[in-house]
C-alpha cells in the first residue's frame, strides 16, 4: 500500500496497536469468549472449541508478518492498561487476494476500486454491553480518514453477524457493496 501506516491509536477507552505473536494469550482469551459470533463473522468453524493459545500464536505470527510486509494490517484493541484484549481490526487493500475470487455487487453506482481499504473488526462478547464496538467504529472512521488519509474506506461485516450489522446501520454509513466468497454460506456487506 502506498500510504503511511500509523503505529496505532490511543483513546480514553482503548489502545489500538499492531498485533504481535506475544499477544497470543490475551488475544486467545478474547477469541474463545467470542467464538460463537466469530464463527458467523468468519463464515467458518474458526475458532474450533479446542483452538489453543499455541495455534493462536501461529496465526498471530502470520498476521504480524503480513503487517510487516505491508500486505494487510492487523491491530489488536487493548484496554488502556494493555492487560486485556478487546478485539481486533483488519485493514485490507481493495485488491487483496481474498477479494479476487469474491463476487462483488455494487449497491448503487460505486466501484470497489474507488475505495482505499476494506476494514473488518470485532469486539469481544463481554464488551458489547458497554458498546465498545460502536465507540471503536466511531474512532476508526476518524483515524482512517485523518491518520491513514483514507477518506474512502469500507467497513465490512457479514450478514449473519446481525448484532454488528444493526450497530453499523444505526450510523450514517450506507450499504455500498454485497459480496460472496467461495465456500462461504453468507454474504458480506460493505458500508461507506
For residue 47 the three cell numbers come to: 475458532
Domain 9-191: CATH architecture, name and number where available: 3-Layer(aba) Sandwich (3.40)
Is pTM beyond 0.75? Reply is: yes
Cα(125)–Cα(86) distance, rounded to whole angstroms?
A: 9
Q: What is the pLDDT of residues 83-97, one digit of tens each?
A: 999 999 999 999 999
Q: Give me the percent of the chain exceeding a pLDDT of 90.
A: 88
Cα(82)–Cα(23) distance, rounded to whole angstroms?
A: 10
Q: Is the pLDDT of residue 1 over 70?
A: no
CB atoms within 10 A of CB 65: 11
Residues 6+ apart with CB under 8 A from 190: 118, 154, 155, 156, 175, 176, 177, 178, 179
Q: What is the pLDDT of residue 3?
A: 65
Cα(62)–Cα(158) distance, rounded to whole angstroms?
A: 23
Q: Break the chain into its structural domains and give their ranges.
A: 9-191
Q: What is the mean pLDDT of residues 103-121?
A: 95
Q: What is the pLDDT of residue 52?
A: 96
Q: What is the mean pLDDT of residues 33-58?
A: 93
Q: Is the pLDDT of residue 149 over 90?
A: no
Amino acid at each position: 500500500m502506498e500510504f503511511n501506516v500509523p503505529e496505532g491509536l490511543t483513546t480514553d477507552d482503548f489502545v489500538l496497536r499492531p498485533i504481535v505473536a506475544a499477544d497470543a494469550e490475551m488475544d486467545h482469551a478474547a477469541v474463545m469468549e467470542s467464538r460463537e459470533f466469530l464463527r458467523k463473522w468468519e463464515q467458518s468453524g474458526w475458532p474450533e472449541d479446542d483452538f489453543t493459545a499455541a495455534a493462536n500464536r501461529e496465526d498471530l505470527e502470520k498476521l504480524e508478518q503480513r503487517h510487516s510486509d505491508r500486505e494487510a494490517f492487523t491491530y489488536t484493541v487493548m484496554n488502556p492498561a494493555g492487560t486485556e484484549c478487546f478485539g481486533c481490526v483488519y485493514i485490507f487493500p481493495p485488491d487483496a487476494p481474498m477479494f479476487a475470487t469474491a463476487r462483488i455487487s455494487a449497491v448503487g453506482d460505486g466501484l470497489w476500486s474507488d475505495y482505499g481499504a476494506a476494514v473488518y473488526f470485532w469486539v469481544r462478547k463481554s464488551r458489547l454491553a458497554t458498546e465498545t464496538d460502536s465507540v471503536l467504529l466511531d474512532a476508526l472512521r476518524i483515524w482512517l480518514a485523518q491518520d491513514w488519509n483514507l477518506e474512502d474506506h469500507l467497513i465490512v461485516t457479514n450478514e449473519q453477524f446481525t448484532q454488528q450489522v444493526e450497530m453499523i446501520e444505526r450510523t450514517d454509513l450506507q450499504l455500498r457493496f454485497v459480496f460472496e466468497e467461495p465456500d462461504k454460506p453468507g454474504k458480506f456487506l460493505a458500508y461507506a
